[in-house]
Structure 1
Amino acid sequence: MSVDHPDVPPEVPSDEDLARMDRDELVRLGTKLDGVELVEYPDPWPVKGTRAEKRAERMVAFWFAVSGLTGLAFVVAFIFWPSKYVAPDQDGYFLYSLYTPVLGLTLGIAILALGVGVLNYTRKFIPHEIAVQERHDGGSKDVDIRTVVAQLADTGHRSTIARRPLIKRSLAFGGGVLGLAITVVPLGGLLRNPHAQSSNENGLLHTGWLHHGAEKVFLRRDTGDPSQVELVSPADLDAGSMETVFPFRESERGDHEALLKALNRADNPVMLIRLRPDDAQKVIKHAGQEDFNYGDYYAYTKICSHVGCPTSLYEQRTNRILCPCHQSQFDALQYAKPVFGPATRKLAQLPIKIDPDTGYFISTGDFIEPVGPAYWERKS
């Protein structure tokens, strides 16, 4: 669980002190800096080497071994089982008819057995901690990164996996063969390079709001007809209202495929909000984004920073942006920071202004922070 608390600068050791700390000291420091209180952290096997412990270890290893054997059977069947079509009235039809069921059965058992093994190991050997953690605003500092690494290493140590060679070998066998079984079917087409060049519009580092040269990127609404382009001006929104907008470039006008792509791309939807005049005086802006708004108008991604659901609800009275999937709430008056629910990171803000030539809204650039669930470590 997590709770909000005022931002109080923690007492951080120097780099020299950090370098001298061992894992246990870093774990205690990280717990303190994270505002974590361990209510319960029991050792599941306080008496080592008992029959019950060894029996539990053998049971986990059994499931991992089953996963490995059935995964290996899947690979063998996939490669060597007769798969060429045979008519029902011809010899060999019986073996051919079993091809798909055998693949499904062996791969299904391999995945199920690995999952059962992991669940049993978690239940039997991982300490079942109960902790309370305060919610922090902002990115990760170097001390946070070091202490988290130490906490992960400590978790592995406390799980006792290092002194259980039977489980490690069976897990390597089951997990390795299952990975081989899954990758038998080519997956290359599903991979994307998150470090694509900035000129690559499809890269994960940018969205459809990326600017190409000097071409303007307007804010347009979705009318239900991709070819019908309606741009948005300040007069279109009443105070306290919200509208979903998408990127539009004049070079795309008349290009049905490009217009449809702009409306369908998952990271393009933006929530354009016009605050009420009294509320606009209470706004707290994020550092480095003080000029991202235009007067009372603010634009935030609709992609929730928790798991990527659409934050499609705006509550005018409280100025809360709501995500209906897991009930995360973001405060539009405080740079869309999370104030309730599982989300821990603010919604990305799109920089906007008015085009002096047309009077319509345009973006001044792409987002400068991750949209939706981030896949890289942020330090600011």
Structure 2
Amino acid sequence: MSTRDTRPGADATGELYGGPDDDYTPEQLAAMDREELDRLGARYDHVEILHVEPGPEPGSAMEKRALKQVGMLFTLGGLFAFLFVAAYVGSGWFLPDWHWEVDEGGWSAFFTPVLGLFMGLALICVGVGFVLFTKKLLPHETAVQAKEEGSHFDRVTTGGTFTTWGHRSGLARRKMITRSLLFMGGGLGLMLIMPLGGLIKNPNKGNPLGQTSWREGVRLVRDDGSPIRPGDQEPGSLETVFPAVEGGNRQADAATMLIRLRPEQLANLRPQDGQADFGYGDYVAYSKICTHAGCPVSLYEQETSRILCPCHQSQFDVTQGAKPVFGPATRSLPQLPITVDDEGFFVARGDYPEAVGPTYWNRERI
């Protein structure tokens, strides 16, 4: 380590002559203020300043106008970010019920567009705000620099350059910009991490893929909500029924085929193991959702006792527990256990014993 440098600029504010670590001791560098370190680093790094355009005069009308514009944009960016968060968590401020349902109208149908709108507006405000902040409030300097391998000298003087930039930016005295930046940063950060909540905690409760709204005692009703008694259908006929619950005829996974078998079909009935008592008299009920790709299987050919899926031509035999006998489907249609209540109307004895529709990876029963 060399002795104290007595050349101009070592501990004075005149013209500075720079060098590597062997020209300036750590003590000498520590004794310099940020302005000196900034100028010293520039000289040592062979920086040639081509053009300098100072920012607006502090307290001038131009600066005040720019502060209002930038502060307003940052504040709006934070506000839109917080509105995104409120919409995402289902706040009742503007989306009373955002849970998705098939063919649902009202606010819930706009849940995803609202999220996109608020996130887009937040990012636009942030971007435009930073552009205006850079163009209207920061000094502009054009310089050419040839950079060499770094050293302790480089690290210290570079630190001085960064702190000097922070001072020149005016953030310390421009409280409106600082506060709006903090507000915007909080909202934007929360907005960006909020969608990760689905990776931390599953929003689906229970077993939504393996259950429907059928429960013990729930009546089987037609599309218009009217209940069904034994004898309402002709032998060999099929009727689509739904659970008598709120939105029953709009729950696609609960759609069920109630079939009244003919005497010869009843004589040949071969239910699945453990499901011999799922029917009631000459009635059986099967899921309307194809186990291949989820299409509605609503074409019933009573002469052959087969239900046809119109999408890929899978066929299921209702006298063999809706077992697939043709086409790509490999799993039987789930059967709904049914009985009648005290008033003589059909009711379910419980939910389907297995998941309806196509097979998925964590199904417990195949």
Alignment TM-score, normalising by the size of structure 1 = 0.44
The structure whose Rg is larger is 2
TM-score (structure 2 length as normaliser): 0.46
